[in-house]
Amino acid sequence: MGAHTVAHLLVYHPDRFLSATLGGSAGWFRWTTELAQRTELEASEHERECISRSQNARLAPANEPTPSEGDIQKQIAQCKADSSIDQFAQAAVFRGFQDLALTPQQVRVVTVPTLGIVGGRDSYLSDFRELVRLRPDVKLVVVSGATHGGQAGTMRRPEFIEAIRQFIDAHALSDRQAP
């Protein structure tokens, strides 16, 4: 969920960046009543079951079978057994998304070189395309066949790391720019 924070910081503290990478999410730049209701539902589900069935369904690639109830129960049990997961903290994060929301006008004025990486089968792809419409300078890398998370997730693909390496190399602070 770091991309949401980075998108927010790009608006409020651009001086702290040489470049930025948004992986998996373009940030929130159009907060709506529907989005507020969706995040509250997902927060409530995290509180109740440690996972969000709605979020899992929303992020699942189209045209793929949905997990069985047995698979969902296994996910819930694994989540609750993992002492590093705090389901109430997860819910709080979802409820805090509204505080990270930006306006399209705020997004448009960002000049920090930005890389967006998203899977071709990720439901956030349309958000990245909207970000590029707002900021044509954003370099967008779409990883073919990749999903938001899981085994086929973008971050598991070598293209993810390679895109970041190339972008950092292209925007590195050179010796001539150093203070």
Q: Of the residues 52, 76, 100, which one is the last residue of a structural domain?
A: 100
Instruction: Give the alpha-carbon dihedral of 157, 5, 171, 160, to 10 degrees.
Output: 0
20-23: strand order across its sheet: 20-23, 114-119, 139-143
Q: Of the residues 80, 100, 120, which one is the last residue of a structural domain?
A: 100
Inter-helix orientation angle 87-96/33-49, to 10°: 170
pLDDT in tens, the chain (179 residues): 789 999 999 999 999 999 999 998 999 888 899 999 999 999 999 999 999 999 888 888 777 777 889 989 999 999 999 999 999 999 999 999 999 899 999 999 999 999 999 999 998 999 999 999 999 999 999 999 999 988 888 999 999 999 999 999 999 865 445 55
Instruction: Note whether 109 and 54 are same-domain residues.
Output: no
Q: Could you tell me which residues are beta bridge partners of residue 117?
A: 23, 141
Q: How many domains does the chain have?
A: 2
The per-residue pLDDT for 174 is 54
CATH of the domain at 118: 3.40.50.1820
Does the global pTM surpass 0.75? yes
DSSP character at residue 61: P
Count Cβ atoms below 10 Å from residue 170 Cβ, excluding itself.
11
